[in-house]
């Protein structure tokens, strides 16, 4: 009996402690969209923070890779990432992706110089103007259709900084952008004097919902979407969802030193 016990103890000592099983990793592509999503802010922004916490409760680790928006889309569509964040719904995107439940409520407005007062009621009021815009940006089906008519000229570049610089130099008259995103860019990229030269029109261009998109070519996407949506609803029901955005308004999610960003 004693010999058998010694054998068991010796076996346990030789084997050592069992290694903890590491949670599976989900890789998500994203574009820079501060303050909501950015490699350069705390927790990579409130949307990345929310997604990571949601999926952690489903047993996953999450890694965000920040890429130019067109590449973030293309590489996720090809199945090189498990998901991509965050995107407006467009019918043509359904060929490549499944859409989660709505993740973010956005309000797009027209930014303009205070020295160039501006008012509008209908899209036709913009006729003849030159607008700034983002690469691969959709501003909703109605405004996208208006742009396609050619009644305004839109000059698309890759960053908010470039668009606001063009606005300050009066190379464009208007820059449509999400309200919080626009003011975050002005705070972080410009002097106070330049930022205070710019305002926005109170009438929204678009009140929009954005989504996590999961590539159809990956077999796990349907199950992952169901789990994500159920957990997102739980966060909404118990009040945790709103806290991320209350924290944003309270001054959390500040820029981090460049060497510390992922």
DSSP assignment of 21-47: PPPPEEEEEE--BTTTB-TTBGGG-HH
Decide if 158 contacts 148 (C-beta within 8 A).
no
Q: For the chain, first and last CA: distance in Å? A: 57
**How much is the pLDDT for 12?**
47
CA 138: distance to chain centroid? 14
Share of the chain above pLDDT 90, in %: 71
Average confidence (pLDDT) over 192-204: 96
Q: Do domains 26-104+210-250 and 107-207 have the same CATH topology?
A: yes
Average confidence (pLDDT) over 133-161: 91
The span from the CA of 247 to the CA of 148, in Å, is 38
Q: Looking at the predicted structure, is the pLDDT value of residue 9 above 50?
A: no
User: What does each C-alpha distance from 145 to 24, 170, 209, 226 come to in angstroms?
Assistant: 42, 25, 18, 32
**How much is the pLDDT for 100?**
98
The span from the CA of 51 to the CA of 74, in Å, is 21
Long-range contacts (CB closer than 8 Å, 24 or more residues apart) made by 183-191: 184/34, 184/35, 185/34, 185/160, 185/161, 188/34, 188/255, 189/160, 189/161, 189/164, 190/161, 190/164
pLDDT in tens, 206-248: 998 999 999 999 999 999 999 999 999 999 999 999 999 889 8
The span from the CA of 222 to the CA of 62, in Å, is 18
Q: 161, 146, 154: which is closest to 130 by C-alpha?
A: 154
Q: 56, 141, 54: which is closest to 90 by C-alpha?
A: 141
pLDDT in tens, 33-78: 888 999 999 999 999 999 999 999 999 999 999 999 999 999 999 9
The span from the CA of 140 to the CA of 51, in Å, is 24
Decide if 31 contacts 37 (C-beta within 8 A).
yes
Please name every residue paired with 156 in a beta bridge, in sequence order, or none if there are none.
133
Average pLDDT, the chain: 90
The span from the CA of 47 to the CA of 91, in Å, is 23
Q: Cα angle at 230 between 226 and 231, to 5 degrees?
A: 120
Q: Which fold has domain 26-104+210-250?
A: D-Maltodextrin-Binding Protein; domain 2 (3.40.190)
Check the CA dihedral 57-61-66-71 and report its sign. Answer: negative
pLDDT in tens, 178-196: 998 898 889 888 999 999 9
| Site of tokens 């789990």 | 227
Question: Domain 107-207, CATH 1.10.10.60 — does that match?
Answer: no
Both structure tokens of 82:
């498990």
> How long is the chain?
262
Domain boundaries, the chain: 26-104+210-250, 107-207
**How much is the pLDDT for 259?**
54
DSSP tag of 65: E
Q: How many CB atoms lie within 10 A of CB 137?
A: 15
């Amino acid at each position: 009996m004693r010999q058998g016990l010694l054998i068991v103890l010796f076996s346990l000592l030789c084997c050592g402690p069992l290694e903890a099983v590491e949670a599976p990793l989900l890789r998500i592509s994203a574009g820079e969209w501060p303050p909501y999503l950015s490699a350069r802010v705390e927790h990579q922004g409130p949307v990345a923070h929310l997604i990571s916490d949601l999926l952690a409760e489903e047993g996953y680790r999450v890694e965000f890779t920040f890429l130019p928006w067109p590449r973030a889309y293309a590489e996720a569509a090809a199945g090189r990432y498990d998901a991509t964040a965050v995107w407006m719904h467009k019918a043509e995107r359904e060929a490549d992706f499944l859409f989660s439940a709505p993740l973010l409520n956005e309000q797009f407005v027209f930014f303009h110089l205070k020295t160039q007062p501006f008012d509008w009621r209908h899209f036709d009021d913009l006729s003849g103007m030159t607008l700034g815009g983002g690469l691969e940006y959709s501003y909703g089906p109605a405004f996208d259709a208006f742009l396609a008519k050619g009644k305004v000229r839109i000059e698309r570049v890759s960053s908010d900084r470039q668009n606001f610089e063009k606005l300050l130099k009066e190379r464009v008259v208007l820059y449509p952008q999400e309200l919080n995103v626009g003011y975050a860019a002005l705070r972080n990229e410009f002097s106070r004097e330049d930022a205070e030269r710019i305002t926005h029109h109170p009438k929204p261009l678009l009140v929009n919902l954005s989504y996590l998109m999961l590539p159809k070519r990956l077999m796990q996407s349907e199950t992952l979407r169901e789990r994500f949506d159920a957990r997102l609803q739980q966060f909404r029901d118990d009040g945790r969802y709103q806290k991320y955005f209350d924290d944003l308004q309270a001054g959390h999610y500040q820029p981090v030193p460049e060497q510390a960003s992922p």
